[in-house]
Structure 1
Amino acid sequence: MPHHTGHPGYSETLPGLEESAEEARQLVRTALAVWYLDDLTDTATLLVSELVANAVKHTNSRVIRVIVTRPSERFVRIGVVDKARVLPELVKPDDDLLTSGRGLLLVDALAERWGTDVHRWGKQVWAELMSEPAR
């Protein structure tokens, strides 16, 4: 169901596998190109890769859903939905970064803001990037 705010969202259901990150990046590239926000592409594709990797690594969801929307002119929101209610944790700097959480530190650094919405059936981890208003 596209919601009519002038900017329909893009979403795709993908297998819960690491390889899905490539398709997720493609979806993000497509959405940003349509919205003339190509300058956000590098950051956004990095973000979606981390969100997908996180969902795949920390949950055993057979499918994940990648969603790219524009909640407003200024923001692009990238979300990854999985079927696990386990919340992602930001590692503390003194933890062993190799085990987990590095992805979310990266998300935290790249995104304007990010968060997790928990639902009865799972959760969505999302991150928002700010776009410069067109001159």
Structure 2
Amino acid sequence: MTSLRTPVETDSDGHPAYSQTFPCEPSTAEIGRKLVRDVLGVWHLDGLADRAALIITELIANASRRTPCPEIRLVFGRPSATRVRVGVVDEEPSRLPALGKADEDDESGRGLLLIDAVADRWGYDMQGQGRCPWGKEVWAELRIESGK
């Protein structure tokens, strides 16, 4: 089921947040698109839905192609009143995202380039403390237009 079964939570700073764990496979992208649209609808930010759906699709594709993890966690948040963050957490800290350069004939390799084009900013955060992180979150942020 992809609809929100529980209310959107708030993080430690009081900002709304939602996350859910799914299998790390390409078919999760469809679930992710529906879920991000549901979350943005709850937050009355439907105008960001197309860009956020593209971002979550690419983040899921990257995780499913480049990590051996059995599960990923989809994370949606509002780190501030002016930004929405969409992310994917996996348990593969050694495989960090980097912008690539795809040739015209390549059928893949453009995911982060697309994210870079539609997001206001993107990056990754290591998960866990100290010298031995257990994973990473790859995220992208979209700016909320004033009045939302």
Superposition TM-score, scaled by structure 1 size: 0.90
Shift of 1:5: 4.7
Do residues 29 (structure 1) and 42 (structure 2) align?
no
Deviant stretches of 4+, over 3 Å: 4-7
Alignment of 1:56-135 (within 5 A): 56-85=64-93, 86-92=95-101, 95-96=102-103, 98=106, 100-119=108-127, 120-134=133-147
Unaligned stretches of 5+ residues in structure 1: none
1:114 is paired with a residue whose SS is strand
Name the CA shift for 1:101/1:21 in 2 (closer, same or farther; >3 Å): same
Shift of 1:30: 1.1
2:69 is paired with a residue whose SS is coil
2:48 is paired with a residue whose SS is helix
RMSD: 1.8
One-letter amino acid matched to 1:103 = G
Shift of 1:22: 1.1
2:115 is paired with a residue whose SS is helix
One-letter amino acid matched to 2:119 = A
State, as a whole percentage, how many aligned pairs show the same letter: 50
Give the Cα–Cα distance (whole angstroms) in 2 for the partners of residues 42 and 72 of structure 1: 20
Name the CA shift for 1:53/1:99 in 2 (closer, same or farther; >3 Å): same
Do residues 52 (structure 1) and 65 (structure 2) align?
no
Match of 2:23 in 1: 15
